[in-house]
Structure 1
Amino acid sequence: MSYCNVKIKINGEVIEKEVESRWLLSDFLRDKLGLTGTHVGCEHGVCGACTVLLNGEPVRSCLMLAVQADGLEVETVESLAEEDGTFHPIQQAFANNHALQCGFCTPGFLMSVKNFMETHPDLPTDDEIREAISGNLCRCTGYSNIIKAVKEAYVLKC
């Protein structure tokens, strides 16, 4: 097996590790670093449950090797809440609007919405929100409460 050294800034902390060159970023985060908030669903990049932010952009961590993140910055869902456990406005809005049920898809939605809110500072339309979350699948809730949650997150962030 081939191993490589990587240096990745993860949730604000620089991590230096030796990784097997075939490890997926999702497996590295979950199995080697214990960041289990990143969920692995379809393992084909379709469901979006494994979405993390790579240099601020949403990516499917199940489609990327950990070595590809060398020298880059990764944000996982664990980066959202404050140190004291206080929810990020996006998390609070999802909780307030019952925009999660089983919660499996939620981390991917939260990270996609975080990027969307950072790149679209004005309150979006329902259609803009639908487009923004179109890469994330939910089997439990439907999407109406998720759309409501995104709108409320814009209000809470102020």
Structure 2
Amino acid sequence: MDKFTVEEILRTFFTLSAEGKQTATAARYGRILAQLRQYLETDGWMYLTPDRAALLDLERAFDPENAFVRLFNAEDLLYTLHGFLGPQWLLPGLQDRRTQVSLTSRLVQWLCSRSLVDRSWHSCQVEEVLTAAEIMRRNRGGRS
């Protein structure tokens, strides 16, 4: 499997997802991407192994801006995505939240379909994110 950085993955996924969409939808995708980047740089470390978290600390000592997306790959991204669906990271608007949940689920499926992560090897983590997304969908976008 190729080891693309999270930066390359996010740029490609969100560009492809926004292609041909209406301006309002593309703008919504942009807000979700910005929120995801902020989440990864703020809380993404919590879902890393201790050695990966130490590597992130070292990278941030040299250049703190966008260290997570610059340093890590698809597997690291996969292991953080369920946290992005936590209440503290959901966007405030109902339509934004629904799209955030949908895009997160689609991102996981895209990572698998592009062989950026091996679904059979990481099946528990894939299911954890997809289940979290389904729970959010049933909970009307994450807010009762």
Decide: shared fold, TM above 0.5: no
From the two aligned structures, give the one with the greater strand fraction: 1
The TM-score with structure 1 as length reference comes to 0.28
Larger RCO (alpha carbons 8 Å, 6+ apart): 2
TM-score (norm 2): 0.30
Q: Greater share of helix residues, 1 or 2?
A: 2
